[in-house]
Structure 1
Amino acid sequence: MAAVGLFYVGAVLFVNGLMLLGLVEPKATAIINLFVGSLQVITPTYLIFTANGDSNQVLLAAGLYLFGFTYLYVGIGLLAGLDTTGVGYFSLFVAIAAIGFSFANFTVLEDPPFGVIWLYWAVLWTLFFLLLGLKREFLTRYTGYVTTIQGWVTAAIPGFLLLIGAWPTTGLTAIVLGVIGVAMLLVLLPTLRTPRRRHEAGSTTGPTPTPVPDSELSRT
């Protein structure tokens, strides 16, 4: 059941990434965020209630709420036109928690591939914190590309392979995922956009940041 949720996490990350890249209108992504967010709250609740005291099953299910709450937060925020600061700082909490879940997958659950995947998510939610919480708009395109790619690499493909019983839980898989992750972050660096600057007329203090229109802030 968790594999089904993971597969659709790939879908929502893909759509949200396209939104950050300016290819999908923000409010148009709200519905998929609400759908998948609800799924990622219902699924772990069911798994916990049916775990029969299995601590590993409870551990696996607990991490799913991080995604469910994020997507519900995003979906509601987009529909209501809320400031992104709240979801940005919640993303910081998720990023820190993801490091803990990564450690748990490497040690308690003995699942190295998902240990690496949780590190992917720690990086991604850190980018969400910087972009949405601290308003670092120059990260928009970079975060959009990382989100879109991670939708496939960390969720849609692993989720589908788990559904058909073909997901390889091996050290080699973890190494391959690690190499792909580092390469992705480095290759995408040229997409970073530094804040635009302008010289004020008659100014002797040097360049000052160009204000970002409210309409652009709402797209994040």
Structure 2
Amino acid sequence: MGSVGLLFVGAVLFINGIMLLGWVEPKSAAPMNYFVGGLQIITPTYLIFTANGNADTILSAAGLYLFAFTYLYVALNLTFDLDGTGLGYFCLFVTISALVYSGLNFVHFKDAGFGVIWLYWTFLWLLFFLVLGLKKESLSRYTGAVCAIQGWVTAWLPALLLLTGRYDDYKDQLAITLAVFAVLVFGGLYATMVRGAKQPAASSGPPPSSHVPA
């Protein structure tokens, strides 16, 4: 069941990412955040209630609420045009929690694939904190690009592997590939979108929304 929710996390990350890039009107992204936020409430609640006290199942399911509350917070901010500061500092809480979950996946669950994926999410939610909580608007478009890409590589791809029963066959290769991909792609994007943008250049497209992370 969790893999189904992960598939649609990919969709909302992609939508929110391209919204930050200015390709989608902010209010038009609100429904997807409500849909996926609601799904990510139902999924872990079901998993916890049917876990029969299994501590590992409960531990894994509890992490899903971090994303559920993020998406619902985003949806409310977009719907009511709220200031993004509170959401930004919630993203700091998620950042710290995601780092812990990454360590748990590496050490406790022996799952390097999701260990790396949780590191991706740590990085992404840290960017949300910087953009929303600390108002580092120069990182907005970069954050949008990272968010949109992560929708595919940290959610859609592993969800399909899980749904087809192939994740265990490829999780180690996935971990290595994602680690290399992050350094090359996100490093390259930073050089072109953040450092490169510091050079005088004409602005292209509308400014991204300050309300929305993933």
> TM-score when scaled to structure 2?
0.90
Tell me, yes or no, if structure 1 residue 191 matches structure 2 residue 193. yes
Report if the CA contact (8 A) 2:19-2:209 is conserved: no
- Tell me the distance in 2 between the aligned counterparts of 1:134 and 1:195: 22
Could you give the per-residue CA deviations for residues 45-70 of structure 1, whole angstroms, max 9, x where no partner exists?
Answer: 10000001111111110110000000
What is aligned with 1:203? none
- Tell me the distance in 1 between the aligned counterparts of 2:155 and 2:147: 11
Report if the CA contact (8 A) 2:20-2:209 is conserved: no
2:74 match: secondary structure:
helix
Q: Aligned-pair distance for 1:171?
A: 2.8
Report if the CA contact (8 A) 1:13-1:147 is conserved: yes
Distance 1:129 1:194, change over 3 A: farther
How many residues are matched?
Answer: 202
Tell me, yes or no, if structure 1 residue 154 matches structure 2 residue 154. yes
Structure 2 spans left out of the alignment, 5+ residues: 201-206
Could you give the per-residue CA deviations for residues 79-133 of structure 1, whole angstroms, max 9, x where no partner exists?
Answer: 0000000110000000010000001101111111000000000000000000011
- Tell me the distance in 1 between the aligned counterparts of 2:136 and 2:210: 13
Matches within 5 A, 1:130-169: 130-167=130-167, 168-169=169-170
Could you give the per-residue CA deviations for residues 14-61 of structure 1, whole angstroms, max 9, x where no partner exists?
Answer: 000010000000010000001000100110010000001111111110
Q: Aligned-pair distance for 1:170?
A: 3.7
> TM-score when scaled to structure 1?
0.88
What is aligned with 1:16? 16
The code of the aligned residue for 1:59 comes to: L
> Displaced runs of 4+ in structure 1, greater than 3 A?
193-196, 215-220
Distance 1:29 1:217, change over 3 A: closer
Could you give the per-residue CA deviations for residues 117-159 of structure 1, whole angstroms, max 9, x where no partner exists?
Answer: 0000000000000001111111011001100000000001111
- Tell me the distance in 2 between the aligned counterparts of 1:115 and 1:218: 29
- Tell me the distance in 1 between the aligned counterparts of 2:211 and 2:24: 10
What is aligned with 1:57? 57
Relative contact order higher in (CA < 8 Å, ≥ 6 apart): 2
Report if the CA contact (8 A) 1:137-1:195 is conserved: no
- Tell me the distance in 2 between the aligned counterparts of 1:116 and 1:169: 13
Percent of aligned pairs with the same amino acid: 56
What is aligned with 1:102? 102
Distance 1:57 1:217, change over 3 A: closer
Matches within 5 A, 1:170-209: 170-189=171-190, 190-192=192-194, 193-194=197-198
Moved more, 67-76 or 53-62: 53-62
What is aligned with 1:202? none
Larger helix share, 1 or 2: 2
Structure 1 spans left out of the alignment, 5+ residues: 197-214
Q: Aligned-pair distance for 1:219?
A: 6.0
Q: Aligned-pair distance for 1:71?
A: 0.1
Q: Aligned-pair distance for 1:216?
A: 6.1
- Tell me the distance in 2 between the aligned counterparts of 1:63 and 1:135: 26
- Tell me the distance in 2 between the aligned counterparts of 1:131 and 1:46: 33
Moved more, 81-90 or 177-186: 177-186
Distance 1:46 1:191, change over 3 A: same
- Tell me the distance in 2 between the aligned counterparts of 1:170 and 1:164: 13
What is aligned with 2:90? 90
- Tell me the distance in 2 between the aligned counterparts of 1:124 and 1:107: 22
- Tell me the distance in 2 between the aligned counterparts of 1:38 and 1:155: 17
